[in-house]
Structures are given as C-alpha cells and as structure tokens.
Amino acid sequence: MNHDLVCFPFSDLGTETHWQREGELLQRFNHLPPEAQHERPELLKALFAQADEVIISPPLAIARGHLIKLSRKVFINYNAQIAAAPGAPITIGHHTIIAPNVQIQTGTHPVDPTERQKWAYCAKGITIGNNVWIGAGAIICGGVTIGDHSVIGAGSIVTRDVPPCVLVGGNPARVIRELTPPDESTLYALNP
C-alpha cells in the first residue's frame, strides 16, 4: 500500500480539548480497578476509530486514537505506544498479536534543519495485515505495510514494507525466511 508523506504545522495535530479528552480516557483505561474491568470494551471504543473484540493490556499510550482502526481479535500487550497523525492513519488487521513494548509511529520530522523549522511534523500511514505477530520491543515506522501472516522479530525496526508470510528481524528489519502460508479455510476455526 502506498502511504504518502503529509507535513503540517504541529498545531494541526489536534485541539487542546481533543488531547485532554483522549488523555482522560487513557488515564481511566490504564488505571481501572479490578472491579471495573467490564468498562474496558467501552473505553476502547471511545479511544479508537474501531475496536471490537480486542484485548489490550495496560498501560497503553496512544495519540489520535480516532485515526487508529483495530480489527477483530487484535491483542496488544502492555506498554504499547501507537501514534497516528492527520492524513496518516493506522490500521491493524484481525487476529494480530502485538507483544510488550512495541512502538507503532507514523510521525517523523524532516532531516534538513531548515525544513524542520517550516514543518513541525510529517507522517506516513501504517497498515498491518491480518494474523501478524509483532515481537517485543519492535518499532514500526511510518509508511510501512506489513503483509498478512508475517512475523516481526523482537527488537526489530521496520522501515520498509514486509511481504506476506515472512519472518523479518534486525535493524533495519530484513526478511530472514519465508513462512508456510496457512490454510485460510480452517485457519480461524479455533478462534473465530
């Protein structure tokens, strides 16, 4: 998928009211007492553009959750940092597993110091396919598409697209080997 670079003044990232509301929801989600765990699904629906049948272990850090779509059966472990930006949304496919301490960041800044002063923020969207496993501490950079059924090794830094059904690892992440494609007709029978 082609993710175009969008650049804009930092002031376009959201209003103070938006940031405050998102912060309040995150604070509530991250500090729910055991007797209030039933509130999690509704908080996730308020935090994200889409979040049905997902499990997220707190603490969670997000920016502009209204631009982040989580498909069914997504599992995100603790200390995830997920940041979208206007014109640079994030989509995570169904049955995807995200290990602890993963960062998914659409944002960047120009390398040229003069350009950096003109634009405070640039970003490219991120698309993560279905049934992907992202290992602990991995970083997914803006503009990346990760193909269905791929595995991102722990600690990897993904700076370019990942094809379907591969294992990648390293910095920058590179294909280590191809994986056997699953039988899609029976793949989700145990976890529909």
Inter-CA distances, 4 with 94, 106, 111, 143, 148, Å: 24, 11, 17, 7, 21
Q: Is 3 known to be catalytic?
A: no
Residue 128, helix vs strand vs coil: strand
Q: Which of 38, 66, 94, 109 is catalytic?
A: 109
What pTM, to 2 d.p., does this model score? Answer: 0.93
DSSP state of 12: G
Q: pLDDT tens digits for the chain (192 residues)? A: 668 888 877 666 666 677 899 999 999 999 999 899 999 999 999 999 999 899 999 999 999 999 999 999 999 999 999 999 989 999 999 999 999 999 999 998 888 888 777 767 889 999 999 999 999 999 999 999 999 999 999 999 999 999 999 999 999 999 999 999 998 888 888 787
Fold for domain 6-173? UDP N-Acetylglucosamine Acyltransferase; domain 1 (2.160.10)
Locus of tokens 């990648």: 168
Task: For the chain, give every domain's residue range.
Answer: 6-173
